[in-house]
Structure 1
């Protein structure tokens, strides 16, 4: 209700002023209060735009051209992110790109710090970017040790570290994944929660990276300014929704409640898997859950022993033939809609009753799949 009321009030005043406004400043100040690394904030209209701006500023600040990315991690649909997320894992160019873009991208496997160090050794990588809890909301997880090693390696090589917290920002904790892990990136991209569920995004980070956007600083130093226009960047409606949502998150403990329900649903799903005698497992972190359907037919998979870090990204992203689709259909029949990967995200409005109902629906769905000969 608070976010809806803020949107309604902002709409009554206008959707675009053609200038900066007080709501934009308050929104940025709230982000700075919550996010450890947010010395400066620049607003965009989407997460894709935020990561695009991050790369532009990183290349400008370092004078380098290459970008390091982790295979399967998603950072929007712009040209620099077109290969290595869902296809072209060999680094070849996706369709529609001009020559040279894919060649300027260094792809590394998840959790491969040796490949990170090798890729940075040439001193030509402007930035390394990743989703701090892993790709697809942690389906292919990232360990704290990898984050720490990546922060160390990028700092040693003068490479900017960019956290894409479009998903994790203000979900993992009020300060995002970086607040939880205590790891400070140079730049952070935000969207989704940051704008209270309406279109919007932001880039935050070290002040020196933002100097090239500043009219006064670039004029005083006699350096070229980076252009960054956007009609609806920081528009009054997004600013009002974002400020209201972040204020609510900070004041109510919503992240902690959602994370607790994440623990509860993963435990309940694994109990149901164990009771059904199915070689699957539920896993995940914080307020997210994933269901591993064992596409390779591993005999050693069980809820008590499953370790996603022991699997490659191809296996984690795969599914036993037909399993994900039929599981989702069965869950729909039983009154619950899962995300198709399969899995889901928990919000602060999900309480014990909703979690327990989901687990019960999952148990019934496993029985249906067994009766259908799928398990």
Structure 2
């Protein structure tokens, strides 16, 4: 072998080593233990770990961007057969979005109030249209932004520690991240009930309601993940088989009745209405302790959010997922322009006095023309998927 050929081969090896080092360094911000989101390739799986346990893994714009870019890479990578997403720590999968930052941005007109919702919904849509199996281990608190990261994927695995809720009407917002798509598709009127009241589902009830696809004991989650990532070139059926096996292990515990079982008939009847006002009338007319409790809860919520949410779910029931995200982006920006979101965040998250002063204060004062304007096109600023 000539000296020139040998030198060329050595240069090529050096370049290859440098490329590997550069690639490693470029991933270091995503894999170091203090990163906000960890993105790792383990066996046949891409694994996303939301890594803000002290903030209950709340989602911020940086995390959204990192997850989206990596998802797109894994979708095209022939050696990645599935994606697993989970939360770090003992308490939460993801308790929502970084509401405080969005609030501050909205008050000052910072672009974050637009970019966060826009890019979050684009990520949610990428999950909903992902070409490969996507497994969300919702082992802990799962609210708001955490719902968007999980519910649109093929598999959602709940545990006894799962706490699922969409409490947005209580802070002057609406159940976004595709809530207008999946909530009206739950059995009966459960989705509308959850959306308006912010009712919390726990453990097995998350699966019974149709939100989770599987239930696995929390102590088995690590073992489940290990078995999933070590599957050799798995098909969707292979993944289903593993999930089913773990669910059967967890079925040894005696099932409790669904938390809403005794109220389902009332929910389906009383929440079958043409308007929020009609729901209030139904509850008042019924007069049962359950109905009175729901009235008490609903009277604490933002009247504007209630009317916005009712229409969101009514229209979303017949929309594609993409059209729902376009609609919800319009609603998000209407909330950023309004009053109740800032008041709700103040009362619930900042001052924590729970003394919300909604404007308007009563349902009857929320003009239909105003609600219409919330759903109106943003023209060139509309969400494009």
TM-score (norm 1): 0.30
Bigger helix fraction: 2
TM-score (norm 2): 0.29
Based on CA coordinates, which of the two structures has the bigger radius of gyration?
2
